[in-house]
Structure 1
Amino acid sequence: MKLAFTLLGLAALYCSVEPKTTAPVVAVYSQGPGAFNEANTLICHVSGFHPPDITIQLMNGEKEIFPANQTDLAFGRDWHFYLTRNANFTPQDGEKYTCKVTHGTKTKSYAWESNM
């Protein structure tokens, strides 16, 4: 009986320290209105994720946009993290701009809508 309680206690301890993964919430937008051929800033805000193992890339088609700036990794009271990455760009008609987010082993792209 004592062994059963010990095993039950170890199982409860393991479950309580098991890392929790929370997928990021991603918003892609531009600083100004999405007008073609006008200089703008592409912004990708990634929030609510855990653990902090994350990579954010701003993309023009298959090419990463350089140079880009990124805020320092920050977290809220609930220990979920957030980051913002931005880069100057001049949107061109027919080009696709995305924010590519890799969290852990999962990668997903989020499209910028020009509102045109």
Structure 2
Amino acid sequence: MMFAIFLTALLAVSFAEEPKHTPPKVQVYSREPGQFGQENILICRVSGFHPPDISIQLMKDGLELPNANQTDLAFKQNWHFHLTKNVAFKPMPEEKYSCKVTHGSTVKDYAWEPNM
């Protein structure tokens, strides 16, 4: 009986200390200032999220860009995670680039602004 009470108390403390669901902060940018017809790197930085069930897709006109590189999932002391994904690209007029982030059941698309 004492063991069951101890186990219940231990589980309650464990779950109480677990961070709540925190949506990601997303930044979409390019390594160099955007110039049409110039090689560049499209970068999507996703940070401050919990739990770590997340996927990042770099998109061009609604289709995922191939050959993207992603860092390993990392976290800070407070168990908030961060990831970065990047891919080489050559932006052209009328093309739309974005970062599609799926965190749990929430899906959001973040547009790249070329700042040209």
State the secondary structure of the residue aligned to 1:22. Answer: coil
Counterpart for residue 86 of structure 1:
86
Aligned to 1:57: 57
How many angstroms apart in 2 are the aligned matches of 1:17 and 1:33? Answer: 43
Which ranges of structure 2 fall in alignment gaps of 5 or more residues? Answer: none
- Structure 2 counterpart SS, 1:78: coil
Alpha-carbon offset, residue 62 of structure 1: 1.4
1:36 aligns with 2:4: no
Q: What do residues 32-52 of structure 1 show as CA deviations (whole Å, max 9, x unaligned)?
A: 110010000000000000000
State the TM-score, normalized to the length of structure 2.
0.86
Misfit runs of 4+, over 6 Å: none
**Identical-residue share of aligned pairs (%):** 58
Specify the code of the residue in structure 1 equivalent to 2:102: T
Paired residues, number:
107
Partners of 2:16 and 2:33 lie apart in 1 by 47
Assess if the C-alpha contact under 8 Å between 2:19 and 2:79 holds in 1.
no
> Which consecutive residues of structure 1, in runs of 5 or more, have no partner in the other structure?
1-5
